[in-house]
Amino acid sequence: MAIERDCVLHSWCVQADWRAPTIVGGRGARFWDASGRSYLDMSSLAECMNLGHQHPAVIKAIQDQAERLCFVTAAWGAEPRATLAHLLLEKSGFDGGRVFFTLGGADANEQAVKFARQACGRPHGSVIARDRSYHGASYGAMAFSGDSRTHGQADPAAHHVRHVPPPYAYRCPFGTTTADACAMGALEAITQAIDAHPDTAAILMEPDAGTNGIVAPDSFWPGLRRLARDKGVALIADEVMSGFGRCGEWFAWQRHGEAGRPDLMTLAKGLTGAHLPLAAVVLSRDIAARLEHEVLYTGLTYSGHPLACAAGVAAVRAYEDERLIDRSKTLGAWLFQALQALQRRHPAIGDVRGGHGLFAVLELVKDRDTREPLRPWPEVHPSLRALVARALDSGVSFAVRGNLILLAPPLVIEQSELGEALDLLDRLLGDTEWS
């Protein structure tokens, strides 16, 4: 067997340090390596395996579509592409809207900004995004992201991107002491940014969860919707991670009803349950109407690939048939309560966030009273790295970013499996020194 380390460049790591087993299979909430060792997946790999590993209905749909038609470009019609577009418009309630398919979340966010700028007639209009956000790792998406790791490669100002502080209630950058006050501070910062840049075309933000670990106060997103409408700016919801049940709804903005409806939203990850690469931009009726007689100078060869769209159709039907959206909401509430109990036993857990679905964040601290972080963001404390390594040795895979443990298991996970992972985490936290 070829050794991958010798021939593949790997993202988000030092190449010389890369070490990982070769994964050869999976089922449900578990996957296993070439040696036969099984791992319980508490992160859905990259928060994308919402349906679990090797979902049989999605696999069957891919096989059936491959026998009929593997590929046709987007210049031609394809039945699974049209079917999936109708399903997405139905689940989002974007009646009269349109769907643009592409390959990944970063590209979807770039396309959404293109469409917003074109629809409002500001081809170089400013985009408002948040500090400590992540929208992808292509050049444009890196500029949108409030991520210090990548700004050396893509200058936000060169892409007409303006970043504002986030509604991070646990460490509110506005010095407030309540979640709603922090949300108000964030909205005021966005208002000031738009007033300072009257060419603003769009606001690009995540409505709920993200790998930054910030879960906005409930009042923030409806307030942002009102602000964007009042200012005549398109609101783009980055649902790449939060969509498809991750936050207890088809799409996270739906938790706020019509008060949270964006003008565009971007999808990826859970769209096919990561069985094949696919992403989408869903446009409202109004945005789509403004583009109806415009040429869209954009697109990729494999955009709307029939195999991927067939996987997407099967995935949407699996979420529906197996009631996985409701399941995420129910199990997410149980998980959140269990994590709060864990917090009471471990002083290193400063904050527990999430709980709207199967997504939760533990923020670890040196001192709970002062909220002193383990390490400056986005560094990872060596003891936290060691904890995750010990968990992996015990057969549970956790995701870590900075001082955060991110919990985003497949929506098909059993409650007993969640309990298994939390029991292990409980023991490991008790055995860890954070000095």
CATH code assigned at 71:
3.40.640.10
Backbone φ and ψ of 332, nearest 5°: -65, -40
Q: Name residue, tokens 């929506």.
A: 411
What pLDDT score does 1 carry? 56
Q: How confident is the model at residue 406 (pLDDT cuts 50, 70, 90)?
A: very high
Residues 18 and 167 in one domain: no
Q: What is the mean pLDDT of residues 231-250?
A: 98
Beta carbons within 8 Å of 75's beta carbon, 6+ residues apart: none
Residues 229 and 333 in one domain: no
Instruction: List, in sequence order, every residue forming a beta bridge with 33; answer none if it has no partner.
Output: 23
Dump pLDDT digits (tens) for 73-110: 999 999 999 999 999 999 999 999 999 999 999 999 99
Residues 307 and 373 in one domain: no
Q: What angle do CA 28, 32, 37 make, to 5 degrees?
A: 130
The domain boundary residue, chosen from 291, 321, 351: 321
What pLDDT score does 151 carry? 84
The domain boundary residue, chosen from 321, 344, 379: 321
Residues 47 and 61 in one domain: no
* pLDDT of 44 over the 70 cut: yes
Residues 175 and 230 in one domain: yes
Residues 313 and 359 in one domain: no
Considering the chain, what is the average pLDDT of its residues? 97
Q: How confident is the model at residue 2 (pLDDT cuts 50, 70, 90)?
A: low
Residues 312 and 412 in one domain: no
The domain boundary residue, chosen from 321, 336, 364: 321
Residues 273 and 333 in one domain: no
Distance CA 211, CA 413 (A): 20
Where would I find the beta strands (DSSP E) of 253-371? 264-267, 279-283, 349-354, 360-367
Residues 110 and 181 in one domain: yes
Of 66-80, 145-159, 367-381, 402-416, which range is least confident? 145-159
Residue-range definition of the domain harbouring residue 347: 4-54+325-431
Residues 167 and 307 in one domain: yes
Distance CA 216, CA 206 (A): 9
The CATH number that applies at residue 341 is 3.90.1150.10
Residues 182 and 283 in one domain: yes
* pLDDT of 209 over the 90 cut: no
User: Total domain count for the chain?
Assistant: 2
Where would I find the beta strands (DSSP E) of 233-367? 234-238, 264-267, 279-283, 349-354, 360-367
Burial letters for 180-192: b for 16+ Cβ neighbours within 10 Å, e otherwise?
ebbbbbbbebbee
